[in-house]
Structure 1
């Protein structure tokens, strides 16, 4: 559904999403390596950040019912211990190349991992960054961000994550800042296609494996789409499941809430759809995982395999497991993207420390 046509959605972010939504051609053809080359020419310090991300491990574990194998792409191996380091790097490269400035004044919204990655990277680059967080974001998060030199604002109470998005869109206009707008960032898709996805392809080929499915929990959709594009170039029949929290499904028609769910994931509310995924709706399956089920999977993966994974990563493992456990032929192989090891708060919810 076009963001501009959604009734009840906050106007500033609805207009920004509609105006900057990339089409399918842009999402398939943008060259991140070329964008990166231009950005490095303007801001050579970006090269030091590039060296801290990528080449994360791909680790096999049994599927939930043991009929196949799920290979976990463990993104905690990146700087800031999260897949969001890749996203932050791609957004900063695009900002530098797009503004033709080594130090653009930036603004973005986040509820956690991306904010920390952007703040740490911006500090290295000497960039002026303003982060808008949801009203329910803990004060400890805001304090940590400010220590890096970032400015921080909170959205209005009761507006959820979409409220932070809307306030960032408004402040970008008021303060004349470059709005990163992760939900419309074709550069993140290109980056994941050329780095994360390429790594998975190389790692699977080295292991002599051929995947039948990919699953990843969705915040913006950049990760799942970019990795899917890379895998399908080699294995066209690879199925893809975009995993959303049951508490906030894709295209959620209800207003956003602060209901606990897998961190960093979820529908936007008011019927808005992730612009990066909307052109590919017919090519992907959409799965839903309740927080309690994801927490149980976190505990299981840690107890049985000694792996600490985020709730969103556990949700991806569950969805990937369904693809191989439900197949007619046993011993199938699937991929699950694990964003991080999980936050302290997530493990408290599981009843354990990280």
Structure 2
């Protein structure tokens, strides 16, 4: 159980209270069905989700299959997760779901997807960004009608999580708490992972590993579970920033790192991963290396990838080249303006 930390009492308590729930494996389709019954307008959000390309890229003796998620609505895999979190909140709320008042923390992609969806649905949303996150994201969220708070300097991503927990309490909002939401992993198993499995089977590919940069870890878990029935030995490989590895014992820092991923600090492990972290291969990629991978992947394939997606490709390419065979890598998004500025610099 997570011990409350000075300055981070509410979020560490929330993680501890939800620890057991984090390890459950719900059926997303059942949650979605209830949500659609309660708020039919959610169906409009389905139209821009899924069916993203699965692109093979040579890597020495092997191949990397890139699941290119930038074609989702809002240009990120986080659109799928945001939809899952909204379905879960709508299905679980006791009153009229049209009156939901939500709060969530975000590094950028998740929040912008939530902001766009909540604007579409007319839902009240408050987003908390970590200090030092892209200003363009704050501005976009505000333009979509979301309230925006930026966490205190030096508090890292955990500070944004704590601020969101405090806002949930002070403003009586539903806290989505993505790090403790197994519905996201369930959605990625039934949708993202199922798409990948069908594409690989049609191509006669046999994956040996799945590589994804991890924020909560829901994408990696869900895709791995979807592939295991056909390829039981497929290995999950989690990519974290070298500046903030999984279970990072150090306090949160403002160090630049690839977006949408990272350890939380103080030894806190991602709750969704705890039950499976004994079998996960953890890799770290420094931010400068992820930026170089962005430009190299674009040079080789003409695909635009965010820093975390490019890092996943980098790790997957090394595995495929060394071992041969097929490796899947999830490319979460196309990359922000700020990431591409850093990459070009």
Would the TM-score normalized by the shorter structure come out above 0.5? yes
Deviations 1:241-285 (A, max 9, x none): 011010100000001111111101100001100000011011211
Out of 189-198 and 290-299, give the one that drifted further: 290-299
CA contact (8 A) 2:131 2:254 kept: no
Alignment equivalent of 1:346, drawn from 333, 339, 343: 339
Alignment equivalent of 1:50, drawn from 32, 46, 52: 46
Alpha-carbon distance between aligned partners in 2 of 1:137 and 1:25, rounded to the nearest angstrom: 29
Alignment equivalent of 1:16, drawn from 14, 17, 22: 14
CA contact (8 A) 1:182 1:220 kept: yes
Alignment equivalent of 1:206, drawn from 195, 202, 214: 202
Alignment equivalent of 1:295, drawn from 287, 291, 307: 291
Deviations 1:13-66 (A, max 9, x none): 000111112457613xx1100000000001001011012100100001122xx1
Who is 1:141 aligned against?
A: 137
Alpha-carbon distance between aligned partners in 2 of 1:234 and 1:9, rounded to the nearest angstrom: 46
5+ residue gaps, structure 1: none
Who is 2:181 aligned against?
A: 185
Alpha-carbon distance between aligned partners in 1 of 2:184 and 2:314, rounded to the nearest angstrom: 25
Deviations 1:110-144 (A, max 9, x none): 12111110000001111000001112234433222
Who is 1:80 aligned against?
A: 74
Who is 1:252 aligned against?
A: 248
Deviations 1:67-88 (A, max 9, x none): 2100000000100010010010
Who is 1:176 aligned against?
A: 172
Alpha-carbon distance between aligned partners in 2 of 1:9 and 1:323, rounded to the nearest angstrom: 41
Who is 1:61 aligned against?
A: 57
What's the offset of the Cα at 1:321?
1.9
Secondary structure, aligned partner of 1:152? strand
Who is 2:220 aligned against?
A: 224
CA contact (8 A) 2:247 2:265 kept: yes
Task: Say whether residues 1:336 and 2:329 are aligned partners.
Answer: yes
What is the TM-score with the length of structure 2 in the denominator?
0.96
Who is 2:156 aligned against?
A: 160
Task: Say whether residues 1:307 and 2:300 are aligned partners.
Answer: no
What is the TM-score with the length of structure 1 in the denominator?
0.94
Out of 294-303 and 248-257, give the one that drifted further: 294-303
Q: What is the number of equivalent residue pairs in this alignment?
A: 343
5+ residue gaps, structure 2: none
Secondary structure, aligned partner of 2:66? strand
Task: Say whether residues 1:102 and 2:94 are aligned partners.
Answer: no
CA contact (8 A) 2:23 2:182 kept: no
Task: Say whether residues 1:91 and 2:89 are aligned partners.
Answer: no
Secondary structure, aligned partner of 2:276? helix
CA contact (8 A) 1:6 1:270 kept: no
Alignment equivalent of 1:127, drawn from 115, 123, 145: 123
Change (3 A) 1:290 1:139: closer
